[in-house]
Structure 1
Amino acid sequence: MNINHKEFGKGYPVILIHGFGESHTIWEPIAEKLGSKYRVLIPDLPGFGESSPLPFDHSIDMVANSIYDWMKKNNIAECIIIGHSLGGYVTLEIAKKFPNIVSAIGLIHSTALADTPEKRIGREKSIEFIQKHGVAKFIDSFVPMLFYEKYREKHKAAIDRVMEEGRNIPEKTLTDYMLSMRDRDDSTDFLKEFEKPILFVFGEEDTSIPPARSKEQIKFMRNPYLKNLPETGHMGMIEREEEIFNTISKFVEVAHK
């Protein structure tokens, strides 16, 4: 299968993985700047952007396998992987399944916790909404809610860009990923065992992953590099682009010695 990606710079590989309803473009401004020091790769997950959908059963495990195969094709024997939201779930799965290829990981507005019963119901309702009303209506209602309400108008142009791209995602891609996220395993035991550096970034106004849920996980991490973002929702790469870039840059410098 084809995994589309964009690449910047040379040196130690850093992979930035996008979230649900997005593509590699969400990381492009940060990847371009980070490429002044490292080889930065930003793939489209299967079914998103210009990547092929999975040709087999859909799960976070299978998505992780496809990204691992893509990494091998691009001669990546060791790297740092950083994922936003869904991309964080994929990052955790890669680190669990293929530990030798990962020297450090980053979770940006993501979580190692499994879905709560309420979250699982919410995903099922989203699937019903998509099937009844279509992708465009779902994306137009879903994307703005990812941003902190107070500053949505400030980020209107970026929100419009994300929505415009998201309206082209196949319905099956969205519903398959919804089911995969709903059914993913809890990874807190992995956090307790993982001794390599972990970048953990959360927004104080994130309604997708409330900060209280994020803070629950910190005590499990052996080697955390923490960053909380005030007045920020679920999209720190846009809402706090410079701060996220500086945070990732410092983390990669510390993690890759």
Structure 2
Amino acid sequence: MSIHFEVSGKGYPVVFLHGYGETHAIWDHYRERLSSKYKVITPDLPGFGKSDSLPYEHSLDMVANSVYDCLKRQNVSECIIMGHSLGGYVTLEIAKRFPNIVSHIGLIHSTALSDTEEKKEGRVKSIEFIQKYGVAKFIESFVPMLFHENHRERLKDTIQTIVEEGSKIPEKTLTDYMLSMRDRPDSIEFIKEFEGSILFIYGEEDASIPVALSKSQIKFMKHPYLKNLPKTGHMGMFEQEEEVYQAISKFIEVTHK
């Protein structure tokens, strides 16, 4: 299988993983700006964007393997990996499975906790919706709700672009990933033991990951770098782009000496 990715710049490698229903393109602005100092790699996860689908049932460890293989082909022996939402779950899996390659991680509107029972039920309902009404209808209803209502009008063109790209994703990709997110174990024991630093960016108004759940896991991190975003939903890299860019940039600068 083939993993599509974009690479810009030279220097210490920094990898950005996109979330559910997205592609590498959500990180384009960050890749362009950070590439003056670092080698920035933005893959499409299997089944998304221009990457091939996994030839078997999706699981986050299998997705982690595919990203790791991609990085090895780029001769990456050590890197910082950051992920948005689903991308954060994959980041955690890569760090668990291949600790020698991961120096530090970023969880951006993501969580080390497993799904609550309520969240699991929501995943199943989403699968049923996709199967009944199709990918386009699901993405059209799903994507805008990731943004806080205060930002939707200002970012309507961005939202439309994400919807258009997301509508091209195969149905099986969306349903398989939904199941793999539902069934993932928590990673609390891992973040308790992880010696690297963790950039943890969360939205105060995130409807996907309530702020109380985000804050509840901070105490388990040995070396947390925290950035909370007031009046922000699940898409801070657009809703508060400059704030998120500065947080990411400073994190890389401080941790990579």
After superposition, give the CA deviation of every residue in 1:162-208 in whole Å (9 maximum; x if it has no partner).
Answer: 00111110000000000000000110010111111000000001000
SS, match of residue 174 in structure 2:
helix
Q: How does 1:156-175 map to 2 (within 5 A)?
A: 156-175=156-175
2:40 matched residue in structure 1: 40
SS, match of residue 51 in structure 1:
coil
1:7 aligns with 2:13: no
Whichever residue aligns with residue 191 of structure 2, its letter is L
- The runs of 4+ residues in structure 1 deviating greater than 2 Å are none
Whichever residue aligns with residue 21 of structure 1, its letter is G
Question: What are the ranges of 5 or more consecutive residues in structure 1 without an aligned counterpart?
Answer: none
After superposition, give the CA deviation of every residue in 1:120-153 in whole Å (9 maximum; x if it has no partner).
Answer: 0000000000000000000000000000012211
CA distance in structure 2 between the partners assigned to 1:69 and 1:150 by the alignment: 40
CA distance in structure 2 between the partners assigned to 1:30 and 1:103 by the alignment: 20
1:124 aligns with 2:136: no
1:236 matched residue in structure 2: 236
Q: Give the structure-2-normalised TM-score.
A: 0.99
Contact 1:5/1:42 (8 A) holds in 2: yes
1:114 aligns with 2:101: no
CA distance in structure 2 between the partners assigned to 1:20 and 1:58 by the alignment: 13
2:151 matched residue in structure 1: 151
CA distance in structure 1 between the partners assigned to 2:241 and 2:151 by the alignment: 14
CA distance in structure 2 between the partners assigned to 1:142 and 1:56 by the alignment: 26
* Superposition deviation, residue 57 in structure 1: 2.4
Whichever residue aligns with residue 206 of structure 1, its letter is D
CA distance in structure 1 between the partners assigned to 2:69 and 2:164 by the alignment: 30
SS, match of residue 83 in structure 1:
strand
Q: Give the structure-1-normalised TM-score.
A: 0.99
CA distance in structure 1 between the partners assigned to 2:36 and 2:141 by the alignment: 37
2:205 matched residue in structure 1: 205
CA distance in structure 1 between the partners assigned to 2:114 and 2:6 by the alignment: 30
SS, match of residue 219 in structure 1:
helix
* Percent of aligned positions that are identical: 69
SS, match of residue 225 in structure 2:
strand
CA distance in structure 1 between the partners assigned to 2:185 and 2:36 by the alignment: 36
After superposition, give the CA deviation of every residue in 1:46-89 in whole Å (9 maximum; x if it has no partner).
Answer: 00000000012210010001101111111000000000000000
Question: What are the ranges of 5 or more consecutive residues in structure 2 without an aligned counterpart?
Answer: none
SS, match of residue 205 in structure 1:
coil
CA distance in structure 1 between the partners assigned to 2:52 and 2:192 by the alignment: 34
Contact 2:57/2:176 (8 A) holds in 1: no
1:193 matched residue in structure 2: 193
Contact 1:18/1:83 (8 A) holds in 2: yes
After superposition, give the CA deviation of every residue in 1:95-116 in whole Å (9 maximum; x if it has no partner).
Answer: 0011010010000000000000
| Aligned residue-pair number | 257
CA distance in structure 1 between the partners assigned to 2:254 and 2:183 by the alignment: 34
1:69 aligns with 2:69: yes
Contact 1:30/1:241 (8 A) holds in 2: no
Pairwise CA RMSD: 0.6
